[in-house]
Structure 1
Amino acid sequence: MTAIDRVRILVLGDSGVGKTSFVHLAAHNEPLRSPSWTVGCSVEVKLHEYKEGTKDQKTYFIEFWDIGGSHIHRNSRSVFYYPCHGAILVHDLTNRKSEKNLHKWVREISKRQRERKDSNSYMYVPYTSNLLSEDFDQESSFGSSSIPFLVIGTKLNQVEDRKSHTGHMASHLGCDEIVMDCLQTRYLAAGTSNAVKLSRFYDKAIEMRSKLHKDSFTERLNDPISPILSTKFYSPHQD
């Protein structure tokens, strides 16, 4: 049996915005009626057909790494950030501050990736001061090597004026946004525009994974002492 490759998607956002409810709905196609607070990280998995219906179709496991949003764990949660092939940023439509705080989560990812920039198997996001403000765009702040993002706005059922949402963060990142009620399966039903956005995001994450693996392999080939073989077992050829 052929092993199925896995893609890691980080799900980030403040506590209480509905990350766990979204993940459960996306992974199981059913609402989570009694969500609990996430401490540390929880992982859900679903199968996804990459480029379904084409000659390039291939099955992947999508791993949702639901990261606890508590401020007190900010210094320890970075252990879950590597590797990362894409990130879903979740905010509460009834809480504008939760959307404004998304740039802090992007900055946090950027900082951790910068710290891992010497890893041969990882392409990092450049860390810039632009992330400290809300006025940044994906190209200037992240460069062309950025991981793909998707923004999710939750609790749409509690918003009085549903047309008032402007989606500032998604606009800054140049990515798609989905606004939804995580207790209603229809928001992610097959064939809907939301389902198409999700599928497109998964495909981008898969392509990022492939790119990272390809770049890592190329770097190891060009390294005179390849990380594939530990230097402990390496000795130069002597005539």
Structure 2
Amino acid sequence: MAANIDKVKIVVVGDSGVGKTSLVHLISHQQPTNNPPYTIGCSVEVKLHDYKAGTPGEKTFFIEMWDVGGSTSHRNSRSIFYHSVHGILLVHDLSNRKSHQNLRKWLAEVINKGHTKDFNGGDYDPELFAGIQIPIMVDFFIYRGDYDPELFAGIQIPIMVVGCKADQAQNLRDKSPSARSSVAEECGADEFNLDCHQVKHISPGSTNAVKLTKFFDKVIERRYHSREGGNQGHITPTMERKRFFKTSHID
């Protein structure tokens, strides 16, 4: 029976130590892990998800969550995990603001499949402009420090932003539970915050669980039920090239 179940791939990325492994374990097993291992490379957890549960269109899918190690020393080898991605979980530590700021770089890395282009360093290839250039534009503006949040508006992959270690953030008064993540706004993504040691924070029927269910459904819809045709909501190569040369200058 398992062989007949379709699957989607979600990469889980963020700085080292933000709580990715604890989050994935909690989502997959509905119980916390007390001693999460240090992730070298990538580990994969699989969860059964009922798409459109309780409706005539209900169907079971495998949700593969690829927990990618966040160490900077492994950056050059992470590209192998970024192919055929259907959804992205951006994870940060609520008590560490830098980890939230770095989510932009993580998003650029995933969309670029781990490859960055140094336009000012002579690694520019004009043939890259023949296709959709959103990934390159995102990384380019981050590189120059000339970041434009509108570049995230055209990303088609469903994204969820998750803040972990809510207990520590409360103690440090670092982030209000009601505060809206700037990265989530830029990506048009939903988000939630939690303490990965508290099962109730993601228990069935909870606000966080509902948001996660909707995210999984969106990933599945994007993978299996999106329709071809028309450019509504889609940025064409010509549109992207015009926007790039309008907003930047390459010496």
Following TM superposition, by how much is the alpha carbon of 1:39 offset from its aligned partner in structure 2, in angstroms? 0.1
C-alpha contact (below 8 Å) 1:126/1:143 kept by paired residues: no
Deviation per CA, 1:19-65: give whole Å up to 9, x if none.
00000000000000111110000000110011111121110000010
1:83-102 matched pairs, under 5 angstroms: 83-102=84-103
Question: Unpaired runs of 5+ in structure 2?
Answer: 117-131, 229-251
Is the alpha carbon distance of 1:144 and 1:166 closer, same or farther for their aligned partners in structure 2, counting shifts above 3 Å? closer
Output the CA distance in 1 between the equivalents of 2:114 and 2:17. 26
User: Contact 2:8/2:219 (CA < 8 Å) preserved in 1?
Assistant: yes
Deviates more, 1:79-88 or 1:141-150: 141-150
C-alpha change, 1:90 and 1:192, in structure 2 (3 Å) is: same
Q: Residue 157 in 1 paired to residue 170 in 2?
A: no
Matches within 5 A, 1:116-195: 126-128=135-137, 129-132=140-143, 136-137=148-149, 140-142=150-152, 144=154, 146-159=156-169, 160=171, 161=173, 162-163=175-176, 165-195=179-209
Question: Could you report, residue by residue, the CA deviation over 1:144-202 in whole angstroms, capped at 9, with x for unpaired residues?
Answer: 45101001101101123352744121111111111100000000011111011100110
TM-superposed CA distance for 1:136, in Å, is 3.8
Task: State the TM-score, normalizing by the size of structure 2.
Answer: 0.75
Q: Which amino acid aligns with 1:174?
A: G
Contact 1:40-1:77 at 8 Å conserved across structures: yes
Deviation of 1:126 (Å): 3.8
Query: Per-residue deviation at 1:124?
Result: 8.4
- Does the Cα contact within 8 Å between 1:106 and 1:131 map onto a contact in 2? no
Structure with more of its chain in helix, by fraction: 2
Give the superposed CA RMSD. Answer: 2.4
- Unpaired runs of 5+ in structure 1? 116-122, 216-239
| Equivalent position of 1:106 in the other structure | 107
User: Which letter does structure 2 place at the counterpart of 1:150?
Assistant: M
Alignment of 1:1-239 (within 5 A): 1=1, 3-112=4-113, 126-128=135-137, 129-132=140-143, 136-137=148-149, 140-142=150-152, 144=154, 146-159=156-169, 160=171, 161=173, 162-163=175-176, 165-210=179-224
**Structure 1's 157 and 113: CA in aligned 2 closer, same or farther, altered over 3 A?**
closer
Q: TM-score, normalised to structure 1's length?
A: 0.78
